[in-house]
Amino acid sequence: MYELYVLKSYREKYLGWKLKQCPARGCNYVIEFHLASEDEEHSLNIVCLCGHIFCWRCMLESHRPVTCNNASDWLSRDLEQLIEEVDKPSTVSWIDANTKPCPHCFIPVEIDGERPWAQFLTCVCSGRFCWKCFRSPETHGTSGSCLAPARSSNVGFNHWNRAKPGISCLDLWNASQVNLVNAKYELEAFEESIIKKPSDLKEQDVKVLREGLMLIVQCRQFLKWSCAYDYIHTEYDMAKREYLRFLQENASGIVHSFSQSIKEETEAKELTCGKLLSETTNIGNFFYHFIKTLREGLPEVQAESYDNYGGPYWLCDRCTYGNSWFQRACKMCCDPTASKMDELSD
């Protein structure tokens, strides 16, 4: 009882500063942390003996390369908004599939699904046109067959016929979460196999394999949170987003290759520790520089529109409009009146 009282007293004295309990469900480990260097901006990652990796400051799971505030906002606000947008019916997709833009006023006109043989549509502006070739009844072919679409009919359609967007940050986040779950499962399966069915592997071999599998978990977790970084920091800079996704794809391929090497070594009769140690070191160095690159804001990518431009504005990559830093979306591109610019230009 005395020893338990002393332990409880010590924990209460330093709990929250020097001591913290692992936030993993069902874990009773208490971790003593010694701060080697101050890092006020990025997470301090802790690896518990149970295998859980978390941030010492905010107690969320390890969220490098984003800050604690970014991670909190992503989980409580941004991620929910993205999920809600996906769950809602896509208005733009419905418009693309079920309407045609009027060549006179550019307003989308719904195709009559109950009368697919109705070739001509009537717009609210009283204009009539063929929904296949966009020609008026007067200039349409007399035989009923559509002529080649007029070149001028494409003017102003860019607002509706948008290019299909690439893979979203939410899709990448979900895919990375699946890879992370699989990596954790492989680590747990390895630990259980060592306990239930002791193999002929030496203690040093088991340590090398365990470190390799734990490194894979950390890399997968970093790749998952790099998707949040993608959404937060490269939303308005397509050049940096393209470069970041190239790095993500390259890093994911390296981790997958390393995972396959561990499986092959585990199934082999003799374990090549030197090879695994070398690959572990190389991957660790690769991700160290990857994290450093993201912390520095992808300095390798320079946007010409931002050169020699400072002040309280950011420039939209799409239309180069100067927006206030308080605006997350471009005021010009998102302004409903912006769709009328094609008419004014004509």
Each residue of 147-204: pLDDT tens digit? 544 443 333 333 323 333 457 888 889 889 999 888 988 888 888 887 777 667 788 8
Beta strands 108-110; 53-55: pairing state: unpaired
Beta strands 313-315; 120-122: pairing state: unpaired
Q: Which of 70-74, 105-109, 200-204, 323-327 has the highest mean pLDDT?
A: 70-74
Greater model confidence, 108 or 70? 70
Each residue of 69-82: pLDDT tens digit? 889 988 888 888 88
- Structure confidence at residue 313 as a pLDDT band (50, 70, 90): low
Q: Which of 272, 275, 274, 266 is nearest to 197 (CA)?
A: 266
Cα of 318 vs its chain's centroid, Å: 21
Assessment of whether the complete model's pTM goes beyond 0.85: no
Q: Which of 2-11, 35-44, 254-263 has the highest mean pLDDT?
A: 254-263
Average pLDDT, the chain: 75
Q: Give backbone dihedrals phi and psi of 45, rounded to 5 degrees, phi first.
A: -85, 135
Q: Are 184 and 224 in contact (CB under 8 A)?
A: no
Structure tokens, 330:
């471009």
